[in-house]
Structure 1
Amino acid sequence: MPTRALDAIYRAAGVLAGIFLVAICVIVCAQIVARQFQAIIPSADQFAGFCLAATSFLGLAYSFRSGSHIRVTLFVRALGGTAQRLALIAALGIAAAITGVLAWHTVAMVWQNFSRGEVTSGLVPVPLWLPQAAMAIGLALFALAVVEDLVRVLLGHPPEFEAAEAANEISAEPVDGSADAP
Structure 2
Amino acid sequence: MLTRALDLFYRAAGALAGVFLVAIAVVVTAQIVARLMGRIVPSADEFGGFCLAATSFLGLAYAFRDGSHIRVTLLVHHTKGWLRQGLTILALAIATAITSIFAWHTAKMALQSFTRNEVTAGLVPLPLWLPQLAMAVGVVLFALAVFEDLVRALLGRDPVFASGEHDPRGTENPAADTH
1:53 counterpart = 2:57:
no
Name 1:91's counterpart in structure 2: 91
Deviation string 1:67-106 (CA, Å, 9 cap, x unpaired) is 1001133321211211111100000000000000000000
Give the aligned partner of residue 3 of structure 1: 3
Q: Deviations over 1:111-130 (max 9, x none)?
A: 00100000000000000000
TM-score (norm 1): 0.90
Match of 2:63 in 1: 63
Runs of at least 5 residues in structure 1 that lack an aligned partner in the other structure: 172-182
Deviations 1:4-24 (A, max 9, x none): 111111010000000000000
More helix by share: 1
CA RMSD of aligned residues (A): 1.6
The count of aligned residue pairs is 170
Question: 2:103 maps to which residue?
Answer: 103
Which residue in 2 is equivalent to 1:177?
Answer: none
Deviations 1:16-40 (A, max 9, x none): 0000000000000000000111000
CA gap of 1:166–1:7, structure 2 versus 1, over 3 A, is farther
How far, CA to CA, are the matches of 2:72 and 2:47 in structure 1? 35
**Which stretch of structure 1 is more off in the superposition, 79-88 or 90-99?**
79-88
Give the 3 Å change call, closer, same or farther, for CA 170–25 of structure 1 in structure 2: farther
Q: Which moved more, 1:68-77 or 1:118-127?
A: 68-77
Identity across aligned pairs (percent)?
Answer: 64
Q: Which residue of 1 aligns with 2:41?
A: 41
Q: Matched residues in 2 for 1:149 and 1:72: separation? A: 17
CA distance in 2, matches of 1:77, 1:59: 26
The one-letter code matched in structure 1 to 2:39 is A
- Secondary structure, aligned partner of 1:73: coil
Q: Hey, which bits of structure 1, 4+ residues long, moved more than 2 A?
A: none
Structure 2, gaps ≥5 residues long: 173-179
- Give the Cα separation in 1 of the matches to 2:101 and 2:58: 17
